[in-house]
Amino acid sequence: MRVIDCPDPAAGLLDVPARELWRHLDGPALLHFAGGREPPLLVSVLLHGNEPVGWDAVRELIARYRDEGRRLPRSLLVFVGNVAAAREGLRRLDGQPDYNRIWKQAQGAEGDMARDLISRLRTGPPFLAVDVHNNTGVNPHYACITRLDPASLAVARMFSRPVVYVRTPDTILAAALAPFTTAVILEAGRPGERRGVEHVIDFLDRCLALEALPKPSPKQSVDLFETVATVRVRAGVRFGFAPVGEGESAANGLDLQLLEAFEHYNFDELPEGTLFGYLAADSTLPLEVTDVADRDVSERYFRVEHGELRLARDLVPAMFSPDPEIIRQDVVCYFMERVRHA
């Protein structure tokens, strides 16, 4: 991992889109931009190479300060992640680990890099850490936290009313940072949406202006959810997607057809019995659902009725996307429950 001091924010990197960073960086890098206050704000971008919103927001925000002749109100550290995948516009390359799953006991070069970064940051903890992502499917903009403490909630609420408390996977960057600094994850819509870039710019600008971390305000209500389960396709399952009412084609060489329109249910509170997909006649349950302790709880969340896969309990889904590559590399979706007492 390269560590680069950037005394002149007008030079070089800020003019380069995510897919061209490989021309300037040969791998992950930690960029430092000096500002008026210390410790610095940490922003991590491009942990997934097909999620450019963080890099686009950072370079545009710094350019605005430069063009207006203003100094950043607080120093800024920018961790740039998977440059090689960004070149191809992919989440990760074949043979690479997921760069947002390497932050706890990972092996190989990526594990060494992760330990190096965490060691550096632990020695001089940042004021606040912000991990920026795009997501797939139709989702609102939302923030995630790995600790249910007042500072984390207050910072997350600065970005969005929906806030998700996540305990798994515990190998993500925010979880590694949480023991020594306040860390939030931003999910800022799908790649290419200008609204996401503007939203992240506004949030980071407000974070740079903070003299101290905010405190929760009773005037700012929070829609707080907790991730309770992760849904994956079992190994070897042949799957596709189907519109509502056209599941009869599920038997045509596929074990499972997921309901294509389900992405429009993200963050909706769905009742037990909601249709999730269609199964081939002889198919066993093709999805694996694990809880926060990594136990298989599939039967708790799904039931099969006459070839239809339906929810077995009330829940709130998030991050469902009809993108087979995302599903193969990561998850089908997450299941959440509302935290009523927050």
* Kind plus residue range of the DSSP H or E element containing 218: none
Q: Is the pLDDT of residue 104 over 80?
A: yes
Structure tokens belonging to residue 298: 């599939």
pLDDT-based confidence at residue 230 (cuts at 50, 70, 90): very high
DSSP string, 56-74: HHHHHHHHHHHHTT---SS
Q: Is the pLDDT of residue 9 over 70?
A: no
If asked whether residues 140 and 19 sit together in one domain, one would say: yes
Phi and psi (nearest 5°) for 129?
Answer: -120, 135
What mean pLDDT, rounded, does the chain reach? 92
Between CA 293 and CA 167 the distance in angstroms is 9
3-state secondary structure of 30: strand
The answer to whether 4 and 29 are in contact (CB under 8 A) is yes
Strands (E) in 100-252, as ranges, are 128-133, 142-145, 162-165, 183-187, 223-233, 239-242
Query: Tell me, what's the pLDDT at 221?
Result: 84
**Mean pLDDT within 265-274:** 96
Q: What is the pLDDT of residues 134-149, one digit of tens each?
A: 998 899 999 999 999 9
If asked whether residues 112 and 211 sit together in one domain, one would say: yes
Q: Domain range spanning residue 285?
A: 227-338
The answer to whether 75 and 153 are in contact (CB under 8 A) is no
If asked whether residues 178 and 299 sit together in one domain, one would say: no
Q: Please identify, among 197, 221, 245, the residue that sits at the C-terminal boundary of a domain.
A: 221
Q: Is the pLDDT of residue 251 over 60?
A: no
**Mean pLDDT within 292-301:** 94
If asked whether residues 153 and 271 sit together in one domain, one would say: no
If asked whether residues 53 and 184 sit together in one domain, one would say: yes
Sheet hosting strand 256-259, strand order edge to edge: 239-242, 256-259, 275-279, 308-311, 302-305
If asked whether residues 173 and 200 sit together in one domain, one would say: yes
Strand partners, 129: 42, 183
Q: Please identify, among 195, 221, 247, the residue that sits at the C-terminal boundary of a domain.
A: 221
Structure tokens belonging to residue 83: 């440059």
pLDDT-based confidence at residue 245 (cuts at 50, 70, 90): low
If asked whether residues 54 and 142 sit together in one domain, one would say: yes
If asked whether residues 214 and 244 sit together in one domain, one would say: no
Domain tally, the chain: 2
If asked whether residues 152 and 255 sit together in one domain, one would say: no
Query: Tell me, what's the pLDDT at 128?
Result: 98
Q: Please identify, among 201, 221, 241, the residue that sits at the C-terminal boundary of a domain.
A: 221
Q: What is the pLDDT of residues 321-333, one digit of tens each?
A: 888 988 998 899 9
The answer to whether 247 and 278 are in contact (CB under 8 A) is yes
Query: Tell me, what's the pLDDT at 282?
Result: 66
If asked whether residues 13 and 67 sit together in one domain, one would say: yes
Query: Tell me, what's the pLDDT at 258?
Result: 94
If asked whether residues 214 and 239 sit together in one domain, one would say: no
Structure tokens belonging to residue 167: 């305990």
If asked whether residues 322 and 215 sit together in one domain, one would say: no
Kindly report the CATH number assigned to the domain that includes residue 47. 3.40.630.10
Q: Are strands 256-259 and 223-233 parallel, antiparallel or unpaired?
A: unpaired
Query: Tell me, what's the pLDDT at 172?
Result: 97
